[in-house]
Amino acid sequence: MPVGVVGITLCAQAFDANGSVGNASLVHSSGFWAGAVIPIGLALCLVIAGTWFAEPLHRMRLMTLADFYRRRYSVRTETLAAGLMLLSNIVLVAGNLAGLGLLLRVVFGLPYLPMLVGIAVCILAYAVSGGLHATIATSVLQVSIFIVSIVVAVAWLGGAHGWGVLLAAAPDGSMSLDGLLSREHGALVNWAALGSLALGDIVAIDFIQRMISADSGRSAKRGCYLAAGLTLVVGLAVSLIGLAAFHFDREPGSSLLIDLALSDLPMLVGGAILLGIIAASMSTASGVVLDLANVITRNLVQRHSRSPWDDERMLRFSRWIALPTMAGAVVFAYLRPQPGILLILAFDIVLAGCFVPLLLGLFWRKANTPGALAGVIGGSAARLVLHFAVADAYRGLDTLLAPVFSLIAMIVVSLLTQARQRPRHDELKRVPSERDLVAGLDGG
């Protein structure tokens, strides 16, 4: 894919129902920074990925991100990492389903659960029938619709009401830096969300898949920078629209942006925003479903099969395995219909267990398999324990401290086991053939 396509498709996570609906509702209910951390964190992630991760990962010719953990470490590490990615991305899809379910419930006045099921069926049919390349190709149009609609909405709001008047209606202190500096105003939670998005999203399989699908490492890098700029500008515009909702006396809620689009914006502008949310969500959700099916097929099933798999067998199995994956996302979306929060939670999971082994695997020659296993298990266990151990007043520390435990565990164990387990840093330079890639014979 060329730079422009890579850049626009990488924006999808910031503009889908998770990113946009969640952003506006969090700004309105908890202050500007509570929602603004979503575009800021995702933009920062894109800058970090473009600067340090895009070219080396593209050069390795990976089929999935989980392949990295096998080539650099072992099959056991790959299995653990793929399991965490599976859980994380089911939560990510659930957030999009929840956002779309809320949108259609408001528009059509129908119960939430039937809306969820209907949306899931549509996304599944769209993803399975078109495949990954078709999903990426249509993402350009889908994401562009949202970008244009938000730009038009911001211009109309400014022309019709004046942004000075709109922002003056927000409660005092809504944009205060206390949201980043004071624990009493949610600073820990906001920094935790920022960390999850800025670092955890680097381990997002859909994000990486679009990045490594670029036609070169340089295109992947430049695409990340283009996406970062678009994400920051358009995402912060959505945050401002969330603050503008106070001018229209809107009540806080997960459907805030949807209510604004339906009731307070011109029909064409509001309709374009809703269409853009649906389109961007279809782009993200269908891409994640396909990538999840690929990870399950390749990294959790094929890897433990006694015989090699050909293209046809992998494709057939991946399409069938998408069904239970989507069913799990529907259940999660029904139990916790909170777009935005689910986006942050999704990357919280992989930040704890997968980020450090990826980082050190690329940039520390002494990183080895026992260390990586300690990092994955130690970080994930620490996150689980801290969830129950950290008091509500200090919520956010559980997210911020888990990768620190992962880092310490990986460094200590790697150094203690250098003689017993030789690091496989040279695997980063090896480029497998296409035949070995498909057959799963590309190392490990």
Q: Is residue 129 part of a domain?
A: yes
In the predicted model, what is the mean pLDDT of residues 288-308?
83
Q: Is residue 344 part of a domain?
A: no
pLDDT > 90 in the chain, percent: 62
* pLDDT tens-digit map of 186-236: 999 999 999 999 999 999 888 888 888 888 889 999 999 999 999 999 999
Give residue 163's domain range: 3-339
> Residue 377 pLDDT > 90, yes or no?
yes
Q: Is residue 146 part of a domain?
A: yes
pLDDT given for residue 126 in this prediction: 79
Domain count, the chain: 1
Task: Give the closest residue to 157 by CA, choosing from 253, 18, 249, 270.
Answer: 270
pLDDT given for residue 189 in this prediction: 95
Higher per-residue pLDDT: 422 or 139: 422
CA distances from 385 to 286, 379, 389 (A): 33, 10, 6
pLDDT given for residue 39 in this prediction: 95
pLDDT given for residue 399 in this prediction: 96
pLDDT given for residue 137 in this prediction: 65
Q: pLDDT class for 433, splitting at 50, 70, 90?
A: low
> Residue 150 pLDDT > 80, yes or no?
yes
Q: Is residue 288 part of a domain?
A: yes
CA distances from 2 to 63, 147, 428 (A): 19, 19, 24
* pLDDT tens-digit map of 75-103: 999 999 999 999 999 999 999 899 899 88
* pLDDT tens-digit map of 355-370: 999 999 999 999 999 9
> Residue 388 pLDDT > 90, yes or no?
yes
- For position 239, which CATH number holds? 1.20.1730.10
CA distances from 22 to 112, 186, 215, 236, 319 (A): 17, 17, 33, 12, 30
Q: Is residue 361 part of a domain?
A: no
In the predicted model, what is the mean pLDDT of residues 390-414?
96
Q: Calculate Rg over the CA atoms of the chain.
A: 21
**Are 414 and 367 within 8 A, CB to CB?**
yes
Task: Give the closest residue to 59 by CA, choosing from 368, 390, 429, 434.
Answer: 429
pLDDT given for residue 341 in this prediction: 86
pLDDT > 70 in the chain, percent: 94
pLDDT given for residue 443 in this prediction: 62
SS3 letters across the chain: CCHHHHHHHHCHHHHCHHHHHHHHHHHHHHCHHHHHHHHHHHHHHHHHHHHHHHHHHHHCCCCCCHHHHHHHCCHHHHHHHHHHHHHHHHHHHHHHHHHHHHHHHHHHCCCHHHHHHHHHHHHHHHHHHHHHHHHHHHHHHHHHHHHHHHHHHHHHHHHHCCHHHHHHCCCCCCCCCHHHHCHHHCHHHHHHHHHHHHHHHHHCHHHHHHHHCCCCHHHHHHHHHHHHHHHHHHHHHHHHHHHHHHHHCCCCCCCHHHHHHHHCCCHHHHHHHHHHHHHHHHHHHHHHHHHHHHHHHHHHHHHHCCCCCCHHHHHHHHHHHHHHHHHHHHHHHHHCCCCCHHHHHHHHHHHHHCHHHHHHHHHCCCCCHHHHHHHHHHHHHHHHHHHHHCCHHHCCHHHHHHHHHHHHHHHHHHHHCCCCCCCCHHHHHCCCCHHHHHHCCCCC
Q: Which amino acid is at 210?
A: R
pLDDT given for residue 231 in this prediction: 95
- pTM surpassing 0.85? yes
pLDDT given for residue 438 in this prediction: 61
Task: Give the closest residue to 77 by CA, choosing from 411, 424, 437, 372.
Answer: 372
Q: pLDDT class for 131, splitting at 50, 70, 90?
A: low
